[in-house]
Chains A and B, each alone.
Chain A
Amino acid sequence: MTARPGTATQDPSGLLSPEAMARRRDVVRHASRTTLRRRRLVGNGTRIACYVALIIALIPLVALISYTIERGVHGLSVAFFTQVPVPQGVPGGGIYNAIIGTLIIVGLAAAVAIPVGLAVALFLVDRRGKVAATIRFVADVMSGVPSIAIGVFAYALIVVPSGHYSGITGSFALAVLMLPIIIRADEVAMRTVPEDLWDAALALGARPSRVARSVVLRTALPGIVTGNLLAVARAVGETAPLLFTALGSTVLETNPFQPMDAMPLRILQDGTQADPHLQTVAWATALVLVAFILVLSIGARTFAAYATRHAR
């Protein structure tokens, strides 16, 4: 570092005199000590601020979960899982129909969205043109479309022409919701397949379909399974797409062409009532729903961890 002009007397040879050198060293040492102290102080202050933020963030999240568990546990019983809702004021009743409804609606949605998503991802993964770029962009934008818009869309497209609400319309809405998530997750998983594997398979003379099936899907399977499970977990908790499509019901309905109940709809229905018994039902349903979603997400994570550990 060159000496600053004016900080010390400079002799003609370009070197500082010994006294000037010592003086300058003192100045630097003093300055660095004070700035280091200040920087450490600022650093510790912000570190503490970050811890405080962590606590602020954890309070509502912990409160949310503990409330759901605390209030929900009171409503759980065997009957809760095996009976259908009873009229207001009558004790007992359960959410059997809502559980079955959620399973059917989400199951049908997944049965459509997962294969279609896979096909689109295969389309995207080895194609480098404008078409692929556009579809990828649309998928990204679509994953941000509000679920309420998808619900109204399904209503306009299916409920209005067919003239009645039905569980399968809810499935359609959830499939539309899941599709962009699945496409992107599948594509990202497939991109982790090394180029060499593609090349090797093609060099062996395998047809593209064979490469896709035996090499790409095989190798990318852990990522694909994880991504799809997470998409299903997202769809299970959605309320807005079902509100104007599956509508809800208080009886057991297994025909997907009829209005069906689902757990999120039951929470909305009962949670907005003043009756404390119904509120307990809502909390218990919320607990079951959250537990179901957590099982799916933890399952997805565990599977991903297991698969990466046991791969190769």
Chain B
Amino acid sequence: MSTDSGGGAHGGDESHSASPAPAGPTGIAALLGARGRRPRGGIYAGVRWGGALVFVSVVVALVVSLVWQAAPAFRHSGFSFIFNGTWNPDTEQFGAGVFIIDTLITTGIGLLIVIPVGIATAAALSEFLPRRLAAPLSTCVDLLAAVPSIVVGLWGLLVLVPIFQRDVEPFLQKIPVVKHLFGGGDLGSGILLASVVLAVMMLPTMVALTRTALQGVSVADREAALALGGTHWQVVRRAVIPGARGGIQAAVTLAMGRALGEAIAVALVIGGGVTLPHSLLANGTTLGSAVISFFSEAIGVQRSAVIGLVVVLLVFTALANIGGQLLIRGRSSKGHEAALPDDLITDTEAVPA
């Protein structure tokens, strides 16, 4: 904890790609070891340790109290809590399987929509559009990221549900081959709509973060690619996007975390079916929306089971988050050498014999 800045500090600082890598203590401070030395006693030290202690105890309390409250349900159902697909309070069967599947499906479809659209939009804003047009549009997108999920949910419920019911779902059912994915009635609400709402929610965050990452790629990298004879698009494709990979992955991770844990907006538009979905138009229930729907009237083991859903959700989002951070850390340690693949010039080298 004193002057030595060992490996432990490294890991923490890299965990957040946006924060600049801190330089070690320099000059006088390094000589004296003043910066790193623990100030002994004093109000200031107390305040800082107190703050850290409060934060850590809140986090510990969160995990412990949720797991504690969910324990009866886990004891009641065992592993079938996760793998069983039947949720029936009357027979005291609590299996979160269907909710987990619905959560993964909605998040997956949402990401399928939002990753290509988000990256392409960010590329258009940061690389292709003239600055005079891109700057106001970017500000708009940044501001839209602050729109609360309840408003998106309200819009989905009152505007998108009728549109889906009247136009989108009958249209999807007419397309050959694909239509088998979209069986069942025209309910409007359902898994597909929930995915779309999630995509709309994720989009501004995704675009804003990706745009920042793209703009962070150094001019030198771009010029190197240009000097090799790349067209504007090739510069973007082979130099800018690979160079911004860490930031883009962070954006996807963040978006995925939000989508996994979103409760209100999804609860408003997914319909609330508790059976395994037979089509993308079927009603469903995600982990988050299940908590919204079941929590209030649940008592006894059922309440504990609902809190168990929260624990499962916590595990999911934590895994997504930690996985994303490890991914970013692994990439960034490889550095920028990989950002310029040599196949940039392979097009021109394909000289016919």
Contact = CB atoms under 8 A, between A and B. Distances in A.
Interface of A: 4, 6-7, 27-28, 31-32, 35-36, 38-40, 42-44, 46-47, 49-54, 56-58, 60-61, 63-65, 67-68, 115-120, 122-124, 126-142, 144-150, 152-153, 156-157, 176, 179, 183-184, 187-188, 191-192, 195-196, 198-199, 202-203, 207-209, 212, 230, 233-234, 236-240, 243-244, 264, 267-268, 271-272, 279, 282-283, 286, 289-290, 293-294, 296-298, 301
A149 B262 CA distance: 10
B52 A119 contact: yes
Contacts of B158: 271, 279, 283
A4 to B, nearest CB: 7
A128 B9 CA distance: 5
B321 A141 contact: yes
A276 to B, nearest CB: 10
B264 interface: yes
Interface string B317-353: 1101110010000000000000000000001101111
B317 A145 contact: yes
A61 B204 contact: yes
Contacts of A199: 26-29, 35
B263 A268 contact: no
B12 A132 contact: yes
11 contacts: A4-B351, A53-B120, A54-B120, A63-B155, A128-B36, A138-B59, A144-B320, A149-B313, A195-B25, A208-B44, A244-B295
Contact of A126 (B36, B59, B150, B257): B36
A68 B20 CA distance: 39
B1 A129 contact: yes
B8 interface: yes
Contact of A49 (B69, B120, B146, B350): B120
A203 B28 contact: yes
Given A43-B232, A144-B257, A240 B263 contact: yes
A153 B120 contact: no
B218 interface: no
B148 interface: yes
B209 interface: no
Contacts of B231: 36, 39-40, 42-43
Given A61-B140, A123-B52, A202-B34, 6 more contacts: A183-B55, A244-B296, A268-B264, A286-B151, A289-B150, A290-B148
Contacts of B177: none
B240 interface: no
B51 A119 contact: yes
A133 B204 contact: no
Interface in B109-149: 116-118, 120-121, 123-125, 127-129, 137, 139-141, 143-144, 146-149
B46 to A, nearest CB: 10
Interface of B: 1, 5-6, 8-9, 11-13, 15-16, 18-20, 22-23, 25-29, 32, 34-36, 39, 42-45, 47-52, 54-56, 58-59, 61-62, 65-66, 69, 116-118, 120-121, 123-125, 127-129, 137, 139-141, 143-144, 146-155, 157-159, 200, 203-204, 207, 230-234, 237, 254, 257-258, 260-264, 268, 288, 291-292, 295-296, 306-307, 310, 313-314, 317-318, 320-322, 325, 347-348, 350-353
Contact of B157 (A31, A139, A271): A271
Contacts of A128: 5-6, 8-9, 22, 36
B161 to A, nearest CB: 12
Instruction: Identify whether the interface residues of B are mostly helix, strand, loop, or mixed.
Output: helix
B118 to A, nearest CB: 7
A64 B151 contact: yes
Nearest to B50: A119
B150 A267 contact: yes
A133 B325 CA distance: 13
A228 to B, nearest CB: 14
Given A133-B12, A144-B320, A50 B351 contact: no
Nearest to B3: A128
A208 B66 CA distance: 38
Contacts of B117: 53, 56-57
B292 A134 contact: no
A67 B51 contact: no
A296 B141 CA distance: 16
A129 B65 contact: no
Contacts of A7: 351, 353
A46 B11 contact: no
A7 B350 CA distance: 13
B35 A120 contact: no
Contacts of B35: 126, 198-199, 202
Nearest to B314: A149
Nearest to A183: B55
Contacts of A44: 233
A120 B313 CA distance: 27
B56 A135 contact: yes
A156 B69 contact: yes
B36 A57 contact: no
Contacts of A293: 146-148
A294 B143 CA distance: 7
A146 B313 contact: yes
Contacts of A289: 148, 150-151
